[in-house]
Amino acid sequence: MKQIIDVKMTARNVDFSECKTDVLVVGIFSDAKKLDSLNAQLDKKLAGAIGRLIKLGDFKGAEKTSAIVYGNEKIGARRVLLVGLGEKDKATLDTIRKATAHAAKKSVEIKAKTVALALHNAFGRRFDLSAVGRASGEGAYFGSYQYDEYVTESQNGRLDSLKVELIEPDPGKLRELKKGLAVGSIIGRAQSYARTLTNRPGNVIYPATLAAAAKEAARGSKRLSCTVFDKKQMTAKGMGGVLAVGSGSQHEPRFIILKYNPANIRAANKLPVVALVGKAITFDSGGISIKPAANMEEMKLDKTGGIAVISTLKAAAELELPVRLYGLIPSAENLPGGSSYRPGDIINTFSGKTVEVQNTDAEGRMILCDALAYAVKQKCDVIIDIATLTGACMVALGTYKAGLMGNDNELIKQIQKASEDSGEKVWPMPSDDEYAEEMRSKIADLKNIGSKWGGACTAAAFLRQFVGDAKWAHLDIAGMDMFQNPTEYSAVGSSGFGVRLLTTYLMNLINNK
Ligand code: BES
Ligand code: MN
Ligand code: ZN
């Protein structure tokens, strides 16, 4: 099987024009009246080629656009890639992340072996340099990502690795940039790992193989441990929700527990114990309440939340974050069959609460409720769950922002801040008592669907019944799990959404932001 592109990242003190590389990447603002001094120097050596390109109107510096100018004997680079940064005042760190991703994607497309990133220089000292390094690292991984491990036909010689250098003419800036780049590379790699695991289909990734992947991830760090409950153990523990959803499949369900115990216990003691809970339905056919055939293949991505959690714990361990973490990933395959759970069934869940099933396609909440109750039992102070939970959330927010619900304003604000910092967008939505009322059953404690309206909010209100007194937030990422088509800065398929958001939340927690 083909390997995923291996990105190697470094930072180096070198002059733009002297840098030997296949692609030198520079940034241009759409509202700049003239080239900044570094770009102007480069343009001079290129005999004004950049200036002419801009003057002709072939490149305007708009976001999501780029243009290539070919190098000459006066510069070290074979090509100069101009990347649009949009309006100068509107630019954020996410502009750097996305522009870098765009450049990395273009570089892979033209089969470059080496890329020199200089676009951050357009910002001078406007942003914290380590944050710039981090965004660049994250962006380079994101943009160069491709999923082709099952394509056996010729890839037209796609390269196995890409060498990316962050180049910086000012040696005084290098240290901070490097620091950030190291962090960004860890997060970027974790996100690419998440995308590959998620892109793998349901015949390859099912609960047992997902559990094996989590174990493998834990083997990479002595601070990370992984315990997996199989069907028998879940039965003994009374995890009726996960068992019910998994009952129709030949692939039995699993309950995956990752635990991260940092070396720096003193620092961790000052912080809450955080549980990250992720939905991992390895394929969601809807079960007996079966889904229509159109686009059903996309439901292999219904494990995105769980994989975001595995990947975040992996990143947290590599970053040696001083915070105690649980990663709880209930995993099942939702299929119709002779042993499937059915509408009308009443399920005893791990919390002790009973749930009347009215729709087997509302399975995410059935597995999450067991994991949330498990987090409460472990006395976690903060619980954040992440799930491709409802089509209704997609109807409400489209494919641009994830729904954010919760029971604690401070936690909501922290996640909003992490969202701004990471570029993975969220939008607040309610989940209070009115919504919870819709989830009451006449013959059990709860039922698993509400009325026709507000489906994302009623689903969240259902989950809220299982978090006890913990501070809880819920991320509904149904619209965020994938790109249906390639974009200017991403390949088609899994987006790896959540890895940057959750890692950033944890890092901010440590830095008191
Ligand atoms: N996994 C789906 C939600 C989903 C839909 C994710 C589209 C990504 C894209 C979830 O399990 C589901 O089927 N939800 C139902 C709930 C309904 C039966 C109350 C839905 O949204 O239709
Ligand atoms: Mn479903
Ligand atoms: Zn689902």
Q: Residue 382: beta bridge partners?
A: 274, 471
Q: Quick check: helix, strand or coil at residue 101? A: helix
The response to whether residue 245 sits with its C-beta less than 6 Å from ligand 1 reads no
For residue 476 the two structure tokens come to 């509904």
* Residue 1 confidence (pLDDT) above 60: no
CA–centroid distance, 389 to ligand 1, in Å, is: 6
Band (pLDDT 50/70/90 cuts) for residue 142 is very high
For residue 7 the two structure tokens come to 């990105």
Residue 5's pLDDT is 87
Q: Determine the Cα–Cα distance for residues 310 and 177; give it in Å rounded to an integer.
A: 27
The response to whether residue 361 sits with its C-beta less than 6 Å from ligand 1 reads yes
Residue 2's pLDDT is 59
pLDDT in tens, 4-24: 789 999 999 999 999 999 999
* Residue 96: C-alpha distances to residues 72, 229, 422 (Å): 27, 42, 11
Burial 157-171 (b: 16+ CB within 10 A, else e): eeeeebbbbbbbbee
The response to whether residue 487 sits with its C-beta less than 6 Å from ligand 1 reads no
Residue 159's pLDDT is 83
Which secondary structure element, helix H or strand E, spans residue 378, and what is its range?
none
Q: Determine the Cα–Cα distance for residues 54 and 48; give it in Å rounded to an integer.
A: 10
- Whether the pTM exceeds 0.85: the reply is yes
Q: Quick check: helix, strand or coil at residue 32? A: coil
pLDDT in tens, 456-470: 999 999 999 999 999
Atom 8 in ligand 1: which residue has the minimum CA distance? 478
As a whole number, mean pLDDT of residues 442-457 equals: 98
Give backbone dihedrals phi and psi of 298, rounded to 5 degrees, phi first: -65, -20
* Residue 3 confidence (pLDDT) above 80: no
Three-state SS string over 414-449 comes to: HHHHHHHHHCCCEEECCCCHHHHHCCECCCCCEECC
Residue 153's pLDDT is 80
Q: Quick check: helix, strand or coil at residue 374? A: helix
Q: Determine the Cα–Cα distance for residues 462 and 430; give it in Å rounded to an integer.
A: 12
Three-state SS string over 313-337 comes to: HHHHHHCCCCCCEEEEEEEEEECCC
Band (pLDDT 50/70/90 cuts) for residue 214 is very high
The response to whether residue 493 sits with its C-beta less than 6 Å from ligand 1 reads no
CA–centroid distance, 1 to ligand 3, in Å, is: 29
Q: What is the DSSP string of 215-257?
A: HHHHHT-TTEEEEEE-HHHHHHHT-HHHHHHHTTSSS--EEEE
Q: Which atom of ligand 1 is nearest to the CA of 481?
A: 8
pLDDT in tens, 256-268: 999 999 999 999 9
The response to whether residue 476 sits with its C-beta less than 6 Å from ligand 1 reads no
Tell which residue, 351, 473, 468, has the closest CA to residue 418. 473
**291 included as an active-site residue:** yes
Which one from 44, 88, 163, 291 is the annotated catalytic residue? 291
Q: Determine the Cα–Cα distance for residues 45 and 51; give it in Å rounded to an integer.
A: 12
Q: What is the DSSP string of 466-491?
A: T-TTSEEEEEE-TTTSEESS--SS--
* Residue 139 confidence (pLDDT) above 60: yes
Residue 512's pLDDT is 82
Mean pLDDT of the chain: 97
Band (pLDDT 50/70/90 cuts) for residue 233 is very high
Residue 9's pLDDT is 95
For residue 8 the two structure tokens come to 């190697």
For residue 76 the two structure tokens come to 């070290």
pLDDT in tens, 92-104: 999 999 999 999 9
Residue 483's pLDDT is 98
Q: Quick check: helix, strand or coil at residue 40? A: helix
* Inter-residue contact 76 to 19 (CB < 8 Å): yes
pLDDT in tens, 357-416: 999 999 999 999 999 999 999 999 999 999 999 999 999 999 999 999 999 999 999 999
As a whole number, mean pLDDT of residues 130-154 equals: 94
CA–centroid distance, 333 to ligand 2, in Å, is: 10
Mutate which of 285, 298, 389 for ligand 1? The one with the most ligand atoms within 8 Å of its CB, which is 389
Which one from 105, 365, 447, 500 is the annotated catalytic residue? 365
The response to whether residue 391 sits with its C-beta less than 6 Å from ligand 1 reads yes
Q: Which atom of ligand 1 is nearest to the CA of 388?
A: 6
